[in-house]
Structures are given as C-alpha cells and as structure tokens.
Amino acid sequence: MQNRKPRRRRGRVAAAAALAAAGAVTLAFAKSTDWFRAFGARSEGNRLARLRASPQWRDGRFQNTIPTITVAPSRILETLRLQLAAADTRYPSRPIPVVRSSAAELASPPASGLRITWLGHATALVEIDGVRVLTDPVWSQRVSPSRWIGPRRFFAPPVALSDLPELDAVVVSHDHYDHLDMAAVVELAARGARFFVPLGVGAHLERWGVPASRIEELDWQESRSAGPVTLTLTPARHFSGRGLADRDETLWGSWVLAGPTHRVYYSGDSGYFDGFRQIGKTHGPFDATLMSLASYGPTWPDVHMTPEELVLAHVELRGGTLVPVHWATFNLAFHDWNEPAARAAAAARERGVRLRIPRPGEMLEPAAVDQDSGLEEWWREP
C-alpha cells in the first residue's frame, strides 16, 4: 500500500511529460507549416456587423441566390470510393508545356491594351487599359493549410512572384485554399499590393499582415476603382471556408474588370445559374471571359460547371474570347486531367465560340486571336 502513492505520482509525472512533449512536437509542426495562421481569421466587430447587414447573409451564414448543394450527403461514400480508386489518367503522363517569360517581357505593355497571362489554376495576370490585375494568387506547391499534405502542383509556376511587374490590384473570388494562398498574400503584401476581396475575407488578410488600408471588402454589385478600371464583385454560385467550423462565413463571387476600352469577366468558382445572363446584360459585352473549367463531378453537382455549361455561360455573358482557367494544375476532381479541355473545345465548336486555351505562362491578347486559326490542342496525351 505504501508504494502506490509514489507510483501514481511517477505515473502522473510521466504522463505530464509525455503530454508536454506531444504539445511541443505539435507546436513545432504547426509553427513549421504555418498551420494555424493558414486557416485565417473569423470576422469580429464592425466587420462582422457589415457581414450580417448583407442581403446575402441569412440564418447565420452567406447564401446562394438559389438552393445549392455543395457536397451531396448521399454521395459522401461515393466520393471516398472515387478518391481511393484514383486513376493514373488524373495526372499528366508527361510534363505540362510551360512558357517562361522574363521580367522585361512581362513589363512590356500589350499592343492592343488587353493581355491575359494564365499562370496556373485560377491565377492570371490581366493587363487592361494600363492597369495590371492579378486574380486569385496561388504560388504554393500544395493547396492545403500544410506544406506537407494536400494536392500538389503538376508544374512549377511559370513566373516567380518576384518577377511580376508592379500590380495595381489583386482580386480574390473566395477563400478556398486553391484560390487564396497565404504565402503568396504575404509576399504580395510586402510589395505593397492592394487587395479586393469579398466580405469577410479581409479578416484572413489582416491576420497575415496586410494593412487594413490596402484591403477593399465588397458585397455583390459593389465596385471600387484601380486607376481607370472599375472592379465590381458580381454573384457566383459556390461556397466558402478554410476550416471545419467556418463554412460560408465569408462571401464568394465573380469579378468584372471594366476599363475605358476593354472589359473582362472572371468567374471564380461557380456552378451554372441564371446570374450569368444578368451579369452579361448589366456589365457586358466582354472582350474576354476567364472561366473556371475543371473540378466538376456528380458528388458536388451545383458548385462547379461542366465544360458544356461553361461554354453556355460564356455565351450568356456576351463574351468574346473564352479563356479557361482553374484546370491542369492540381488534381482536385475525379475526371481525367485533360478531359475538361477536350469537352470545352467540342462545345465551343458546336456553339461557334472563340476559344483559346493557353499554355501556362503564355501571353494572350484577345484582339490578336484569329477565329479561323484553329485551336492548338497541346493537352492531348500521346
């Protein structure tokens, strides 16, 4: 009996030491991966009050204009099965052809006044009427709160962040990891970038060190200016969140970039909905549309478009040249990696849509696109 108390004490000491060691390891891991910071921050105070005053905020969260299923509950098991049965065709069998441009080439102005350089996934440099706008900046190797797990890039970014010319605006469509990369935001903020984001996303940016004076948070149909170009946040059909407990606490949207001479539409992520027709009527026609092409599938039927829906949306937007983005960079769905391009090309031919699918890093001026020149199908496997 006399030995029980010392043994219990030793056991408690050992358990405390084990917990402390585990905590130290967890903290070191979190610190090394910026795990906690990557989740961002939740809105408080005046920012939260503004969110709650939005017409899009109902029942404690942001809502789409029509009923929308993000991931169908009845298909969760199907999603897991598809993930475990991942086919090799979800990854390219050979390196993606990347165009490397020098800093001097990027700094040269476009002859037509409008140039689009797709940099991978949803990141594009749009040069419009003398203003440089960067969409959804993602430069990290993985789209995840960790540097060690999560979908990995098919190719390295064709342009280093440090080689980008001076930017007038960075627009963000929503806060998912494949559209909002903490590391890229930190580096862009150090360069003095101005950020234009949907409601609530500013809380993430402030946690990452972006001064509040360089953050513009917008609700749908609100506009701000970057030089002579007007940036308007327009509706989309999607959802938001960076963790398990913050679903739809920030807004999502698409962007209209309207200059004195040119207009560009960027869809962000969106399922098909009637809003495209209204945006085209109110803000179009557009010289070019940047439309999110991939990551469709039966398990999330409402928040991404099929290639055929995407081409239809482009038509309803009154778009000129269709430039697909959000594909061929990360494995985020269950279709073949190059299936979206093949299906979009077929749908564009059927509807007579002017489609161009640039290689990553390739500069494209819509005014120089020849309707009869044909589409170079660089994504086809041998």
* pLDDT tens digits in sequence order for the chain, 382 residues long: 444 444 344 444 344 444 344 343 333 344 444 668 999 999 999 999 999 999 999 999 999 999 998 876 556 666 666 666 666 888 999 999 999 988 899 999 999 999 999 999 999 999 999 999 999 999 999 998 888 888 899 999 999 999 999 999 999 999 999 999 999 999 999 999 999 999 999 999 999 999 999 999 999 999 999 999 999 999 999 999 998 889 999 999 999 999 999 999 999 999 999 999 999 999 999 999 999 999 998 778 899 999 999 999 999 999 999 999 999 999 988 899 999 999 999 999 999 999 999 999 999 999 987 765 668 899 998 7
Q: Is residue 302 part of a domain?
A: yes
φ and ψ of 242, to 5 deg: -120, 0
Q: Is residue 19 part of a domain?
A: no
Q: Is residue 179 part of a domain?
A: yes
Q: Is 230 helix (H, G, I), strand (E, B) or coil?
A: strand
pLDDT of residue 194: 98
DSSP 75: G
pLDDT of residue 74: 59
pLDDT of residue 35: 67
Q: Is residue 257 part of a domain?
A: yes
What pLDDT digit, counting tens, does each position of 194-235 carry? 999 999 999 999 999 999 999 999 999 999 999 999 999 999
Give CB contacts under 8 A, 24+ apart, made by 82-87: 82/297, 82/299, 82/334, 83/334, 86/331, 86/334, 87/336
Q: Is residue 269 part of a domain?
A: yes
Q: Is 108 helix (H, G, I), strand (E, B) or coil?
A: coil
Q: Is residue 262 part of a domain?
A: yes
pTM comes to 0.89
Q: Is residue 9 part of a domain?
A: no
Amino acid identity at 275? G
In angstroms, what CA-CA distances link 32 with 38, 234, 342? Answer: 12, 37, 41
Q: Is residue 48 part of a domain?
A: no
H or E stretch at 23:
helix 4-33
H or E stretch at 363:
strand 363-364
Domain region containing 340:
88-368
Domain with 149 in it: what CATH number?
3.60.15.10
Q: How many distinct structural domains can be found in the chain?
A: 1
pLDDT of residue 103: 87
